[in-house]
Amino acid sequence: MNKTLYMKATPEKVADYVIFSGDPWRVEVLKKYLDDVSHIGFFREFNTYTGFYKGVRITVTSTGIGAPSAAIAMEEMYNAGMKVAVRMGTVMSLNDDLLGTYVIPSGSFRMEKTSETYVELGYPAVADFALVNSLSNTFKKAGQKVDNGINATMDGFYSQMKESRLSKTRNVNFDKIFDELAMNKVTGVDMESSAMLVIGRLMGVKTAVVTLVTVLKNLKASLEDSIRQTKEDELCRLTLEGIYKFHKGE
């Protein structure tokens, strides 16, 4: 088989299990916990390695920011044989009590447009329940707080999630956006999850999302850099362990 267009991936280089990180450099943290690692390549926003965690072969790759590039990553890993997908990243929470904790959503509110190019809006963005359970139990057993509510996925960071110079001149009402989400019991907001859940379901790929709450709505509070670095390392370790547990049927 020829290499995929952007990620230069082939079936012999890609594992059944794939972890997707938005940040290409977070992939370098994941790589530290893998044995017998090989680098598939770093092309555009896609930084990809394959290795072994406790004997389970896992590919770790990046998507960059947003649903369009995440969809490309999903497509190309699927073309190379992916069977289980986990989006591992960060999320903005609407709940002040969740800063520094983890959100492993059962589903996502489809407010991005990428998934609409695949299937109509009535199609749900839901995670694989068994995978969610394995990941959640792993984090909880490590003493971490986990929320399994729903998140919302949006396209516009500076037009829907964070005030900017332009949004102020256009009088964007961010409070209204967040209040409506809170009224609908949304836990957090990101830019990739719903598209990945929808696409994964259409592919027949078991898909879930595990995210660290690094900021609160409109960035009114955020984790300090040193704390965030420690928590992101923990996020990487526990996500790998969760996949191992899932593989073992736990």
Looking at the domain assignment, is residue 163 inside a domain?
no
Evaluate whether 155 touches 67 at the Cβ level (below 8 Å).
Answer: yes
Q: Are strands 107-111 and 125-126 parallel, antiparallel or unpaired?
A: antiparallel
- HSE, CB side, 13 Å, CA atoms: give it for residue 105: 31
Average pLDDT over residues 36-58: 97
Looking at the domain assignment, is residue 3 inside a domain?
no
CA distance 138 to 22: 22
Average pLDDT over residues 21-28: 96
CA distance 5 to 150: 33
pLDDT band at 223 (very low <50, low <70, confident <90, very high): very high
Q: Which amino acid is at 236?
A: C
- 48-52, 137-141, 197-201, 218-222: which range is least confident on average? 218-222
Looking at the domain assignment, is residue 6 inside a domain?
no
Average pLDDT over residues 126-138: 98
Sign of the Cα torsion 78, 50, 151, 157 reads negative
Q: What are the DSSP E strand ranges found in 130-185?
A: 146-147, 150-154
Looking at the domain assignment, is residue 194 inside a domain?
yes
Cα-only R_g, the chain: 17
Q: Are strands 46-53 and 56-62 parallel, antiparallel or unpaired?
A: antiparallel
Reported pTM: 0.96
182-209 residue pLDDT tens: 999 999 999 999 999 999 999 999 999 9
Lookup: tokens for 92 = 């903005």
In angstroms, the first-to-last Cα distance of the chain is: 34
Looking at the domain assignment, is residue 5 inside a domain?
no
pLDDT band at 218 (very low <50, low <70, confident <90, very high): confident
The pLDDT assigned to 148 comes to 98
80-99 residue pLDDT tens: 999 999 999 999 999 999 99
- HSE, CB side, 13 Å, CA atoms: give it for residue 43: 14
Average pLDDT over residues 62-70: 98
Is pLDDT of 1 > 80? no
**What range does the domain containing 23 cover?**
11-155+187-247
Q: Which amino acid is at 239?
A: T
Q: Which amino acid is at 69?
A: S
Lookup: tokens for 97 = 């009590």
Average pLDDT over residues 123-137: 98
Q: Name the domain count of the chain.
A: 1
Looking at the domain assignment, is residue 75 inside a domain?
yes
Is pLDDT of 61 > 80? yes
Q: Backbone dihedral region of 150: left (phi > 0), alpha (psi from -120 to 50 degrees) or beta?
A: beta
Average pLDDT over residues 122-138: 98
Looking at the domain assignment, is residue 52 inside a domain?
yes
**What CATH number is associated with residue 84?**
3.40.50.1580
27-39 residue pLDDT tens: 999 999 999 999 9
Looking at the domain assignment, is residue 162 inside a domain?
no
2-14 residue pLDDT tens: 899 999 999 999 9
**DSSP states of 11-38 as a string?**
GGG--SEEEEESSTTHHHHHHTT-EEEE
